[in-house]
């Protein structure tokens, strides 16, 4: 058998072997993680964009509740300071810091939404109601995006750790596991909402 003919027989076998080693599936799975992450970032940005409008609407009705408004504004600013890009998704500390900042913002929003109980006129304000509905919808989108992201991370992490894709993941890509989102510590406790009389 000539060397050329032997090469002709081995080339398809080598290509088939490489295809089964995650050469295509690992980057495809990683791109899926990155896309899900981008969707989650878009939902967080939507929330950040809605908050100033909600705060401004409430200010006219609840001037004495400035501490609630300040807390929401500060939590939004703090959440905006921590950024996370696709290359950071393998760093547990960075993912935790980002998740904690977003969790603090979620907790700060709850008293803002409950202000309507103390201010009946606020209940009838169409701007407030529309913004509150949008914010609630955004929170639901964030939860769905987190689930989608975590599902994608699980699939990616499983792929890079199981045979035969683990070979290609290590040899060709140096793939590292991505970090899923976990509930923040504050999410384990129900928020305390107190609009008692401070006089």
Q: Domain holding 87: CATH number? A: 1.20.1440.20
pLDDT at 3: 58
Residue 51 lies in a domain: yes
Residue 52 lies in a domain: yes
Q: Which long-range contacts (CB under 8 A, 24 or more apart) does 159-164 make?
A: 159/22, 159/25, 159/26, 159/29, 160/22, 160/26, 160/29, 164/20, 164/21, 164/22
Using only C-alpha atoms, what is the Rg of the chain? 24
Residue 169 lies in a domain: no
Residue 164 lies in a domain: no
Residue 191 lies in a domain: no
Residue 180 lies in a domain: no
pLDDT digits 0-9 by tens, 142-167: 999 999 999 999 999 999 999 888 88
Residue 196 lies in a domain: no
Q: Could you give the number of structural domains in the chain?
A: 1
Nearest to 67 by CA among 83, 55, 82: 55
Residues of the chain below pLDDT 70:
1-22, 61-64, 116, 120-124, 184-199
pLDDT at 19: 53
User: Domain containing 75: what range?
Assistant: 40-150
Q: How far apart are CA 53 and CA 58, in angstroms?
A: 9
Nearest to 111 by CA among 137, 160, 74, 79: 74
pLDDT at 195: 41
Residue 193 lies in a domain: no
pLDDT at 185: 60
Question: What H or E segment, with its residue span, contains residue 198?
Answer: none
């Amino acid at each position: 058998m000539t060397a050329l003919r032997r090469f002709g027989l081995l080339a398809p076998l080598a290509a088939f072997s490489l295809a089964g080693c995650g050469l295509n599936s690992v980057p495809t799975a990683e791109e899926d993680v990155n896309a899900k992450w981008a969707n989650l970032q878009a939902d967080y940005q939507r929330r950040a964009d809605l908050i100033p409008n909600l705060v401004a609407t409430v200010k006219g009705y609840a001037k004495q509740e400035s501490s609630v408004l300040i807390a929401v504004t500060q939590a939004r600013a703090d959440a905006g300071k921590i950024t996370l890009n696709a290359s950071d998704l393998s760093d547990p500390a960075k993912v935790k810091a980002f998740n904690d900042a977003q969790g603090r913002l979620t907790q700060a929003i709850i008293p803002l939404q409950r202000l309507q109980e103390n201010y009946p006129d606020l209940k009838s304000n169409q701007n407030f109601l529309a913004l509150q509905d949008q914010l609630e919808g955004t929170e639901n989108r964030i939860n769905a995006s987190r689930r989608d992201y975590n599902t994608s991370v699980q699939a990616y992490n499983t792929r890079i750790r199981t045979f035969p894709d683990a070979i290609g993941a290590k040899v060709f890509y140096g793939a590292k596991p991505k970090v899923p989102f976990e509930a923040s510590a504050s999410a384990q406790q129900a928020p305390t909402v107190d609009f008692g009389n401070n006089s």
